[in-house]
Amino acid sequence: MRYALALFLIGCAVETRSSLAAETGPGIASAGPTPAPRVADITAAQGPGAGPGESRDLPFGTEPWGPDVFRARRARLMAQMKTGVGLVLAADRIDDEGGARQDPNFLYLTGLPQESGAVLLLSPEETKKEVPYLRTVDAERDRWTGYRAALPNRALEVRTGFEMIRRINPFASGALGSTLSNRVHRWHDMHFFGPLVGFESEVPKALDIYNKTAGRVPGAHVKDSVAMLAKMRMIKEPREIEKITKATDIAVAGHLEAMQRVRPGMREWDLKQILEHTFQKGGARHLAYPSIVGTGPDGCVLHNPNDDRVIQGGELVLIDAGAEFDRYASDITRTFPANGKFTHEQRAIYQVVLRAQQAAIDQIRPGVTWEELQDVASKVIADAGYYDYYIHSLGHPVGLAVHDVNLPELPLAEGMVITMEPGIYMPGKKIGVRIEDMILVTKTGARVLSEKLPRDPDAIEKLMAASPR
């Protein structure tokens, strides 16, 4: 986003009549969906080398659905905004293999997972209500990362669902800085959609841009609109639930494979390879997050950074791992005995965690708060004498991010997807137990999306016994 900030400041330096005209003028229209681009001369616009209906110029198009889905989401958000201006910024850097993902707000509204350094400008009362500003073309860089479509480009507008696309270029007509200032001067409100961060963190870049704009445009002010977009993302659409369910099914298969193939004498990384290979075979191109495999004392380290320990007979194995499918995450944890049989003490601790999880799941329904669920699970663990060994919160939402957007003060609602993951960690005994499942909040209660993966200790032992060791 360094591109957007630097070029924004340059663009703000001069406000000229030509930039106003180039922006499309002060034309005003009522809030509502932006008309779909017309499909005209698409094949010609795709340039040489492209087959019918195909283009290899970036961006290729929207994922995992067509542009109409994302256009409708933007229309819903702008209907809530009513007036004013809003910016949604893409990630500075994207490297799926290295774990640097697209900003989930930007992805949710555009369906463009690979557009780093881009900015989405929304202003519901303008004629051009939604304009994405993509990073500038760099011919040398493009030879390494893919060629970018030239602008203007009707075919690109059609396949991304925007009526107009611009580059972040301070010297071009309609530069982002001057366009933003012009629109803010007309409408005054600058909608901030998040994220909220602590005082020790850097100021979010959208908020930084707004603060700079307010110092240059009389009457401009920042409006708290964090809940607008957050609530949209927290309540999953049926199509999103399908993707999350598929990601969960893939993760379940990987955990089952690991349970059946674990052997004392393996190293933690051997088990991790088995798990992740099963994810890939199931259709997951990426992990939802780096897989955690901890045995014995390593199971007491919540985000165990190492995976080099030899698995010992008589120890517990804790695996916290999730697959990603079509950009949607899953998050599951299981704890099981390396040799297929719980010891008496391991089973007793495991059953406390299982009772705590089930007590919380039984309370899930629309209207219940996170605090109430936390209290239910914590009481079970505390009453069993393990209060000091439960060191984290109960769960979190899952979606485009494994720790998805959340407004924890709001009660649960139908369509939310969350995890329930109580745990007990006793390093002195080398026993760490966590059980985590994917939960869909339904109209009347909860549906466990990961229910095919055994949680009951007897069922776990039976599964492991069926695999020769």
Q: What pLDDT score does 7 carry?
A: 44
pLDDT above 90: residue 20:
no
- What pLDDT digit, counting tens, does each position of 304-336 carry? 888 899 999 999 999 999 999 999 999 999 999
CB 181 within 8 A of CB 83: no
The terminus-to-terminus CA distance of the chain in angstroms comes to: 52
Burial (Cβ within 10 Å: 0-12, 13-18, ≥19) of residue 39: exposed
| Neighbour order of strands in the sheet with 221-224 | 166-167, 130-134, 119-122, 85-89, 189-192, 221-224
Q: What pLDDT score does 54 carry?
A: 53
The closest of 206, 252, 179 to 449, measured between CA atoms, is 252
Q: What pLDDT score does 467 carry?
A: 81
- What pLDDT digit, counting tens, does each position of 211-266 carry? 999 999 999 999 999 999 999 999 999 999 999 999 999 999 999 999 999 999 99
Every domain of the chain and the residues it spans: 2-234, 238-465
pTM for the whole structure: 0.88
Q: What pLDDT score does 376 carry?
A: 98
Q: What pLDDT score does 170 carry?
A: 65
pLDDT above 90: residue 144:
no
The closest of 160, 168, 110, 108 to 136, measured between CA atoms, is 168
CA distance 283 to 382: 41
Q: What pLDDT score does 124 carry?
A: 98
CA–CA distance from 46 to each of 131, 138, 241, 321 (Å)?
Answer: 21, 19, 34, 41
Burial (Cβ within 10 Å: 0-12, 13-18, ≥19) of residue 227: middle
pLDDT above 80: residue 181:
yes
| DSSP per-residue codes, 257-287 | HHHHH--TT-BHHHHHHHHHHHHHHTT-SEE
The domain 2-234 is classified under which CATH number: 3.40.10.10, 3.40.350.10, 1.10.760.10, 2.60.200.30? 3.40.350.10
> How far is residue 132 CA from its own chain's centroid?
20
* Residue-averaged pLDDT of the chain: 89
Joined together, the tokens standing for residue 446 give: 């909860």
The closest of 66, 96, 415 to 242, measured between CA atoms, is 415
CB 309 within 8 A of CB 267: yes
The closest of 422, 421, 423, 418 to 446, measured between CA atoms, is 418
- What pLDDT digit, counting tens, does each position of 411-435 carry? 999 999 999 999 999 999 999 999 9
CB 223 within 8 A of CB 191: yes
- What's the fold here for domain 238-465? Creatine Amidinohydrolase (3.90.230)
Q: What pLDDT score does 49 carry?
A: 38
Of 18-27, 196-205, 223-232, 350-359, which gets the smallest average pLDDT?
18-27
CB 8 within 8 A of CB 176: yes
| Neighbour order of strands in the sheet with 417-420 | 417-420, 437-441, 446-448
Q: What pLDDT score does 316 carry?
A: 98
Q: At 44, is the pLDDT very low, low, confident or very high (cuts 50, 70, 90)?
A: very low
CB 120 within 8 A of CB 249: no
Of 150-164, 170-184, 407-421, which gets the smallest average pLDDT?
170-184
CA distance 82 to 320: 43
The H or E element spanning position 133 is: strand 130-134
H-type alpha helices, 282-418: 344-363, 370-383
CB 319 within 8 A of CB 334: yes
Mean predicted confidence (pLDDT) in 128-140: 92
Q: What pLDDT score does 36 carry?
A: 53
CA–CA distance from 403 to each of 116, 255, 418, 428 (Å)?
Answer: 21, 20, 9, 30
The closest of 107, 130, 108, 105 to 120, measured between CA atoms, is 130
- What pLDDT digit, counting tens, does each position of 351-410 carry? 999 999 999 999 999 999 999 999 999 999 999 999 999 999 999 999 999 999 999 999
CA distance 404 to 422: 18
CA distance 450 to 439: 8
pLDDT above 70: residue 269:
yes
Burial (Cβ within 10 Å: 0-12, 13-18, ≥19) of residue 76: middle
